[in-house]
Structure 1
Amino acid sequence: MARKIGSRYTANQILGRGSAGTVWLGEGPDGPVAIKLLREDLASDQELVARFVQERTALLGLDHPHVVSVRDLVVDGNDLALVMDLVRGTDLRTRLERERRLAPEAAVAITADIADGLAAAHAAGVVHRDVKPENVLLDMQGPLGPGGAHPALLTDFGVAKLIDSPRRTKATKIIGTPDYLAPEIVEGLPPRASVDIYALATVLYELLAGFTPFGGGHPGAVLRRHVTETVVPLPGIPEELWQLLVQCLAKAPASRLRASELAARLREQLPLLAGMPPLEVDEPDTAPEEEPYEASAPGEPEAARERRGAVPLVPGAKTDSSRDTHTSMRVPAPDELAGGARGTARAPRATGAPRPGSARHRMQTRRRRIALGAAATLLAALGLGAWLVTSGDDDAQPPATRNSAPAAP
């Protein structure tokens, strides 16, 4: 059902829903647009509306081929909306869910596109703060690039900053998506451009491997891994590409490349990756960990908490994605971050090995226990039989107790 957004736009059809609002296919004076209509509870926050207006100049000024341009910001009664260019295509998460992982050439080409977009944003003083596959759109009508990759554009600029207002998030809270949060954010430091580089390197790792380097399990465990663990190498990729990943996933923000440098270095790698098939590596196991972090809503189903990063923004709200944007989490204390560090991130499982907790894994475990029990019983029987054969004395004692008493003087 169509609805008016301000005086110039009409929202005709829902394209998707996220934790911050709903994206509509709309119509404006200059043709089709995408309209991100923020949730009503956000629109009713006068402080957020004021921040929304303050960000108008910065957001409208971002103009780059790899950034989804914001055309207008609408504040009208209960409506708070960003009017953006319409990209005819899908998001990177959808492609990942379909293919699980991409060929290295396509993965690097997409990442280089987003690095170019970030370079323009950072030059304008804008930090994205929520770089992840859900916020990368693939233009299916654009020319194919290296590895058959469609042009990639970064969207949702400004939304994380708008929602991260002092009234909504205390100094002890984190705003972001757990899998892609830079260590300095987890430690409570203000976000700089380097947090986008860390998140983009995490996205590249995920495109190559099919999983993020520090994700899996309870969000609190994910936060701790970002701070305490080192990334596990991916076999089969050129050493120079791996070193780029390691540098951009460095714990120290100053050690990471700038976005423009990363884009240039990635494009240098493309000739070496031509024709290389997707990597063959299984997702690592996630060991159960006790996590004290308040990263899930009271009463939230256990299954929802198990999903990677599935934490609703509003307590009691139903999650609509396994990696919701703008998750609010408590900043861990230093002693919590120090506890449980294993030194290196989860190692990938061997191909074909069962995942702990699966039916196949439980069956193998049960069979091993039965076999061990049977072996122990057999060994005990053999030991007792040997003692009976070798002992001719009716008063002899079992081997474990014979000669245990001192000899009489």
Structure 2
Amino acid sequence: MNSVPTDPLIGHTLDERYVIRSRIARGGMAMVYLGNDLRLERRVAIKIMHPHLAEDESFTRRFEQEARSAAGLGHPNVVNVFDQGVDRGVPYLVMEYLPGITLRELLKQQKRLTIDQAFEIGEAVLAGLAAAHAAGIVHRDLKPENVLLADDGRIKIGDFGLARAVSANTTTGQALLGTIAYLSPELVTRGVADARSDLYAFGIVMFEMLTGQQPYQGEQPMQIAYQHAHSEVPAPSTLAPEIGEEIDDLVRWCCQREPDSRPRDASEALEQFRRVREGGTPNTTRVLPTAGFSGISITPSTAVLTDLEQRNLLAANPAAPIAGERSPSDADFVFRARAAGVRRTRRGRWVALLVVMLLALAGIAGWWWGQGPGSQVAIPEVAGSDLAAAQLALEELSLVVSIIDCSSLEVEPGLAAGTEPAADTRVDRGSAVQLCRSTGPQSLAVPTLVGLPTDDAIAAIEAAGFTFGEVLEQRFDGGGANTVIAALGESGEGLGQTYPERSRVDLIVSAGAIPEVRGMDPDAVATMLQAVGLTLDPSLNTEEYNDEIPEGQAIGVLVFTDPVRVGDSVGVSLSRGPQLFAVPDVSGMNVNEAAEALRAAGFSVSTGIVPEGPAGTLFEVKSTSPAAGEMRRAGTEIALRYI
């Protein structure tokens, strides 16, 4: 077992409902713990304000504001707040527990995200902000640390501790509470924030995801703040040339220095964000906000055609340009792509018609070649065909068709998977033929995988008719090393009793127990932890007194994540040796007084030949052994001297 510093809250139950299990993270205002809700039987995250801050009314109000702000949203991209209370005079919040990482941790791992990753995360963040803005709430502290990426793919905004109502935009001395790298110019210069300030921070986050760095650099926070107030955010493409102009324009629109030049709120930004992500607006003419976008001319008389009108016009005359678009001679790739799409659609219709005609001709030829009742026909190959077309092809051969459901690995559900008798079999006209409608892969029983050694689990997966994917992660759970903790399907969720054949199965595997390091020196601890895939981060180390372990040696490993995975950073609790106390000076006191003073200081007392009590008041103490001022452990016996 590993020894870690005692946290008095671990194991404590709040309001007879929430049991604190382990510590997850530490913030500037609060500590976050993993806990259990005894009433609803679910895991929760419990945020408890630091006791020294609970005495400050302003911090307490801000902490309670977070609960009110987040609890009123109820949006899939905002961390849910379930409950709020006060325990032993310290406020706490109960929130949903999201195992995973923050966007900051992903940026540390990857440095820079792909455009698809940045847009997927950005859209979720904007959706959460849009819900907050619609509810009249400004986040005021949007940054990668407050964007949570759950293991199951959910993306949520958390930490509404600085949130304010949209109308309450004056912050006075609180202006610099948010992270300086993401503060809007108006927050830096005037201490004022509204919904547009959140969009400035969002633009900086997008810039960082796309380029791998923040737009402004400086050794001192005030240098960065000055750049926010007096400089224009550069285009992301200056650092990542593959980024297109529309993405540049979108980021710079959100990062305009003047709030009036930005989107009015997250819903407006989200609408444009989705247009850019999808490659343009649903209409032919691109109508974008003028502020922050370059090279776009908006003319009131420009005709805007719907998709239906465009398709009809192209179908009638594919070579004709649509109002508001350039002609093919302008090399407009959008026009050419749409025209080519119409031509492909028309060719597809001709091909489909040709297939039906060929099937009909085949039926006629079969009838002629068969020469009447009793003649035989060959069952055609219909696997992969539309079910209605396959049925028609069989009935045209004078076959009696019944449709049954069949599983198939190759054919998509709903299409024809084959026939019984099989294709190319010759049968009499009027014979019964079963046409198989594909139901997709067959559902097979899932074997027990948890607890098996990894190699045995992989063999069991293959033997059961599934496909092994990969070991997603290794966790230190205290169990047997290299045994399966969980088996997950393609959606990232646990497997049920049945699962489609040949589908992928991923595993989470135990890394065993965290090594016992008690009594070891730090270098040996680092070597041992590295051997099992853990990194010792000296900045996470702590020190504490210990009567048994010599100074400088390890007491135990400190973990800061739940679960602890291979590759995680950990710290070590180091011994400061036994705690020593100064022997108080009791010379001049009588025996009774001296004994009382020494015991109050934590020592035991030997009075020698003079007992405590009435006789003790008659004898004056001259000195002690050990002498006054010497450092000794608590409980050391101090002898009284009278001469």
TM range (shorter): 0.5 to 0.7
Partner of residue 210, structure 2: 208
Q: 1:54 to 1:118 in 2, by over 3 A?
A: closer
Alignment of 1:105-124 (within 5 A): 105-124=116-135
Q: TM-score, normalised by structure 2?
A: 0.38
Which amino acid is the alignment partner of residue 27 of structure 1? N
Partner of residue 15, structure 2: 6
Shift of 1:86: 1.0
Partner of residue 132, structure 1: 143
Q: 1:172 to 1:196 in 2, by over 3 A?
A: closer
Partner of residue 338, structure 1: none
Partner of residue 275, structure 2: 268
Percent same amino acid among aligned pairs? 37
Structure 2 residue runs of 5 or longer lacking an equivalent are: 1-9, 165-170, 281-538, 541-643
The separation in 2 between residues aligned to 1:181 and 1:259, in whole angstroms, is: 16
The separation in 1 between residues aligned to 2:67 and 2:209, in whole angstroms, is: 33
Q: 1:103 to 1:53 in 2, by over 3 A?
A: closer
The separation in 1 between residues aligned to 2:70 and 2:124, in whole angstroms, is: 19
Alignment of 1:370-381 (within 5 A): none
**Structure 2 SS opposite 1:34:** strand
Partner of residue 156, structure 2: 153
Q: 1:101 to 1:35 in 2, by over 3 A?
A: same
Which amino acid is the alignment partner of residue 177 of structure 1? T
The separation in 2 between residues aligned to 1:242 and 1:54, in whole angstroms, is: 35
Kept in 2, the 8 Å contact 1:171–1:188? The answer is no
Shift of 1:172: 8.1
1:194 aligns with 2:196: yes
Q: Which moved more, 1:120-129 or 1:259-268?
A: 259-268
Partner of residue 95, structure 2: 84
1:236 aligns with 2:272: no
The separation in 1 between residues aligned to 2:133 and 2:32, in whole angstroms, is: 25
Shift of 1:130: 0.6
Partner of residue 266, structure 2: 259
The separation in 2 between residues aligned to 1:7 and 1:54, in whole angstroms, is: 24
The separation in 1 between residues aligned to 2:23 and 2:138, in whole angstroms, is: 28
The separation in 2 between residues aligned to 1:198 and 1:172, in whole angstroms, is: 18
Shift of 1:131: 0.5
Kept in 1, the 8 Å contact 2:130–2:267? The answer is yes
Which amino acid is the alignment partner of residue 253 of structure 2? Q
Alignment of 1:257-296 (within 5 A): 257=263, 258-271=265-278
Q: Which moved more, 1:55-64 or 1:199-208?
A: 55-64
The separation in 1 between residues aligned to 2:227 and 2:65, in whole angstroms, is: 36
Partner of residue 104, structure 1: 115
Partner of residue 33, structure 1: 44
Kept in 2, the 8 Å contact 1:90–1:138? The answer is yes
For this pair of structures, how many residues does the alignment match? 260
The separation in 1 between residues aligned to 2:13 and 2:103, in whole angstroms, is: 30
Partner of residue 22, structure 1: 31
Q: 1:49 to 1:271 in 2, by over 3 A?
A: closer
1:68 aligns with 2:79: yes
Q: Which moved more, 1:76-85 or 1:99-108?
A: 76-85
Kept in 2, the 8 Å contact 1:68–1:154? The answer is yes
**Structure 1 SS opposite 2:140:** coil
Which amino acid is the alignment partner of residue 33 of structure 2? W
Partner of residue 249, structure 1: 255
Q: 1:97 to 1:58 in 2, by over 3 A?
A: closer
Kept in 1, the 8 Å contact 2:70–2:78? The answer is no
The separation in 1 between residues aligned to 2:203 and 2:92, in whole angstroms, is: 30
Choose from 45, 49, 52 the match for 2:56.
45
The separation in 2 between residues aligned to 1:132 and 1:171, in whole angstroms, is: 20
Partner of residue 220, structure 2: 218
Shift of 1:190: 2.2
The separation in 2 between residues aligned to 1:52 and 1:134, in whole angstroms, is: 18
Shift of 1:173: 5.7
Please say which structure displays the higher CA radius of gyration: 2
The separation in 2 between residues aligned to 1:51 and 1:20, in whole angstroms, is: 10
Q: Deviations over 1:199-249 (max 9, x none)?
A: 011001000111111243210100000011112222221111110111100
Asked which structure has the greater RCO (Cα within 8 Å, sep 6+), the reply is 1
Which amino acid is the alignment partner of residue 69 of structure 1? N
**Structure 2 SS opposite 1:174:** helix
Q: TM-score, normalised by structure 1?
A: 0.59
CA RMSD, 1 decimal: 2.3
**Structure 2 SS opposite 1:191:** coil
